[in-house]
Every structure is written in C-alpha cells, then in structure tokens.
A and B are shown apart, each in its own frame.
Chain A
Amino acid sequence: MSSSDLKVLIVEDEMIFARQLESWLKNKVSDIYISNTSENGSYYLSMENPDIIFLDNQLPGINGLDVIEFYKEKAPNSILVLMSSVFLLEEITQALKVGADYVFNKRNENESGLNSILEASLKTKSSGNPFWKIIEFITPDKSDTSKKVVILEDEELFSFQLLMLLNNLPSQKKHTVHRFSRADEFIKHVRKNNYPDVLFLDYELEDSNAHEILDHINKHGKECNTIILSANIDIDTALSLNLEGVSEIIMKDENWQKSITECARNLKL
C-alpha cells in the first residue's frame, strides 16, 4: 500500500481551509471526500471507509470533539485527526482520551506536516503499531520566536501527549520538537544538531537517568533549560537536581498538563 491508495475524509465547514487541505492532499491520496457537518461526515464513514479522517473541532450542529467516540466506533481502523485553530488544553487531553489519534493545529501545520501524517498512517496500517508511536515530529515554519525543544521520555504515550500540548501552546508560537525514548538517541541527536533550548527529561529512563544526562549537558557547558518529569521524587533528589542546573521539576500527576503550560509560559515558549 502507498499513500496514493489512501482515502481521506475532511469534515470541515470552513471551505477555504477545506480547499487548502484538499489541494495539499490531492496528488498524494486516491480519494478525498469533503463534508461540512459531522452528521454528514458519518455517511462517508459507512459508505467509503476512509483511512484518515480530518475532523474540525468546531462545526455547526455537533462539534468534532463530541463525535470522536462515535466516529471511532464506526471506523475503528481510521486514523482520526482532530483539527482546530485554537485548542484549549483540556480539549487536547479529552480528544486523545476519547480516541483521536492526533490533534492538528491549523495555525502551525503545513504541507510537510500533512506528509508526516500520511506516512505515519501508512506505517500504522502496515505494522499494526499505534499511530502515536509512529508519528514523527512536524517541523514548523521557521520564525524568530521558535525554539528547539526535545522530549526525552520512555513512556511514549506520555511523550506524545506532551508533544501535542507543546504544539498547541496558548502563546501560539511554533517550536521544533523532537522526541526520544532513549538517552543514546538523544546524545546522538545533540552531537549532530547541538543542544536544544529546552529539554523535557524523564527522571528515570530505561538506559540512563536524569543525573547522567545533566552531567553530559554540564560537561559540555551548554545552555539548555532542563525540566525534569517524574512520577515520584523526594525532596533530597529535587534539591540535588536543582544544584545540577535543573530549571523546574514537573510531577506526573493529575495536573501535569497545567504545570507544563505554566512552565512553557515561564520559558517564553
């Protein structure tokens, strides 16, 4: 199967954006169906069984977020991408929780971002692995305010959710975000691409821990804001990390998304 065999459904009431999306996709996929309501979109789910669904969040009648579960029930093998020009933090979490495979920020994504989605959809179909494990980061257009961000976290679903949040920050800035699950991949990356401006670092990794990574960063004298992510950390360890140059420690608790947003604001992300 190649991307030219993919069938795509666009559920979007704003026709200028729908045409733009269609134009980006038209030479890459076999069929494109456009619906301007979620109710009408469900007709295409039954009749055409699309491989990818681009579903707008704000629609006349029933909103995108409210039909994700229904759509996924009707088309469990379709990749569902929820789209919006402004996402609320809780909408992203909710969308992923009820079955969206990706959240697509209309402001930040571009044609190359769509290619990543098409490639990841194909790999998901051929390998059976979940979409969130496969999707590559999407390189935003360069801007003066964009920063290089790395997520080094071995719990890949958490890492994916963090990526989605960083891609939809209230500041509306676009950043280049890479994510890795192993320390050796990160070291390889920084040797080639230099250190990121901001590193979100899981305290315990499968092949390393935060102290070793911080040691590496400090040895090379690089300026990199490091944020530790941990489910459980004691006060002595926290103090020690602080002395090692950690900017902030974020607990993986029920408020972690809010903490990330606050932290991003402090770091001017």
Chain B
Amino acid sequence: MKGLPTNNQPSTFDAKDDFHAILDELREKEGDYLVDEFIKIFSNRIPTDITHLIESRKNSNFRELKQKAHFLSTTLVTLKFTHGRLLASEIENAVDSEDTTRALKLTDQFIEYLNKALNTIS
C-alpha cells in the first residue's frame, strides 16, 4: 500500500524540531563534551550528506536515496531530532512502496530540514 501513515507519523511534515531545546536536554543527560562532539561531526558531515541527497534526487536514484535516508535516521535518532527521523523513515517507506512522487517530495522536505538543522546548530 502506498504512503499509508504509520501511527507515530505526524499528519504533516511542517512540524518543527526545536533543535536548541533538544540539544540542551541532551547536554543535561550526556554532558557538554559529547554533545559538542556530536555537533562537530554533524556540521562537518551533513553538507556532504545533503549534496549526496541532491545528486540522488536529481538522478532519481531511489536506492541511494533510501540508503542515505537510512544512514541519516541513525544520526537523527541519536540526536533525538524526531521529525527528521520520521521524515527519513517515510522516505524509506515511500521507496519501498515504489511511490516515487512521494519519495521525491519527502526528499525535498528532508533536504530543507537538514539545512535548517545545520544552520541552527552549527
């Protein structure tokens, strides 16, 4: 079945993650050192990930889109960026169900989301 919402999927993807608040909470739990390390890795790597997503989208390479979304879902789940993680999961689902229009639309939103995360926390 194409594009069926899962139970914990937001009804729309315009929901926002409050990046600063989430990272502050993470700092309390995991400490400044580790969170600073996370931000450093995120800031260094995400621009390349975004470039790969743009390339895969341009070439309609859905296998690569899915792989990259899967990879980034680990990043986002560790950072507790819930809406980003759900977007990544939905891209995987859309590719699995061969709903290419939805996969491309979600990828656009995902790129926008990652850019925003990058600009906010870097």
Give the chain B neighbours of A239 by CB distance below 8 A: none
Chain B: interface secondary structure? helix
Classify chain A's interface size: 20 to 34
List residues 83-97 of chain B with CB under 8 A from any CB of chain A: 85, 89, 92
Q: Does B61 contact A (CB under 8 A)?
A: no
Q: Does B30 contact A (CB under 8 A)?
A: yes
Q: A85-B70, A171-B8, A172-B8 are in contact. Are A16 and B92 (CB under 8 A)?
A: no
Whether B75 lies near A14 (C-beta < 8 A) is yes
Q: Does B51 contact A (CB under 8 A)?
A: no
Give the chain A neighbours of B89 by CB distance below 8 A: 86, 172
Whether B34 lies near A23 (C-beta < 8 A) is yes
Whether A19 lies near B7 (C-beta < 8 A) is no
Q: Pick the contact of A86: B30, B38, B92 (CB < 8 A).
A: B92
Whether B74 lies near A17 (C-beta < 8 A) is yes
B27-42 interface bits toward A, Cβ cutoff 8 Å, 1 = contact, 0 = none? 0001100100110011
Whether A58 lies near B70 (C-beta < 8 A) is yes
Q: A14-B75, A17-B74, A17-B75 are in contact. Are A172 and B38 (CB under 8 A)?
A: no
Q: Pick the contact of B77: A15, A56, A107, A268 (CB < 8 A).
A: A107
Give the chain B neighbours of A58 by CB distance below 8 A: 67, 70-71
Q: Pick the contact of B75: A16, A56, A86, A268 (CB < 8 A).
A: A16
Q: Pick the contact of B6: A20, A107, A171 (CB < 8 A).
A: A171
Q: Does B107 contact A (CB under 8 A)?
A: no
Give the chain A neighbours of B30 by CB distance below 8 A: 20, 23
Instruction: Give A12's nearest chain B residue, CB to CB.
Output: B74
Give the chain A neighbours of B31 by CB distance below 8 A: 23
Give the chain A neighbours of B6 by CB distance below 8 A: 170-172
Q: Does B60 contact A (CB under 8 A)?
A: no
Q: A85-B77, A171-B6, A171-B8 are in contact. Are A19 and B70 (CB under 8 A)?
A: no
Q: Does B115 contact A (CB under 8 A)?
A: no
A-B contact count (CB 8 A): 59
Q: Does A211 contact B (CB under 8 A)?
A: no
Q: Does A7 contact B (CB under 8 A)?
A: no
| A61 CB to nearest chain B CB (Å) | 13
Q: Pick the contact of A19: B37, B73, B92 (CB < 8 A).
A: B37
Give the chain B neighbours of A170 by CB distance below 8 A: 6
Whether A20 lies near B78 (C-beta < 8 A) is yes
Whether A106 lies near B7 (C-beta < 8 A) is no
Complex CA distance for A145 and B75, rounded to whole angstroms: 24
Complex CA distance for A145 and B8, rounded to whole angstroms: 9
Give the chain A neighbours of B38 by CB distance below 8 A: 16, 19-20
Q: Does B79 contact A (CB under 8 A)?
A: yes
List residues 1-20 of chain A with CB under 8 A from any CB of chain B: 13-17, 19-20
List residues 6-64 of chain B with CB under 8 A from any CB of chain A: 6-8, 30-31, 34, 37-38, 41-42, 45
Whether A173 lies near B67 (C-beta < 8 A) is no
Chain A residues near B (Cβ < 8 Å) = 13-17, 19-20, 23, 56, 58, 85-86, 106-107, 145, 170-173, 268
Further pairs besides A19-B37, A20-B30: 13, Cβ < 8 Å: A16-B74, A16-B79, A17-B77, A19-B34, A23-B30, A58-B70, A85-B74, A85-B77, A86-B89, A145-B7, A171-B6, A173-B7, A173-B8
28 pairs across A/B with beta carbons < 8 Å? A14-B71, A14-B78, A15-B45, A16-B38, A16-B41, A16-B75, A17-B74, A17-B78, A19-B38, A23-B30, A23-B31, A23-B34, A56-B74, A85-B74, A85-B85, A86-B70, A86-B89, A86-B92, A106-B77, A106-B78, A107-B85, A145-B8, A171-B7, A172-B6, A172-B8, A172-B89, A173-B8, A268-B7
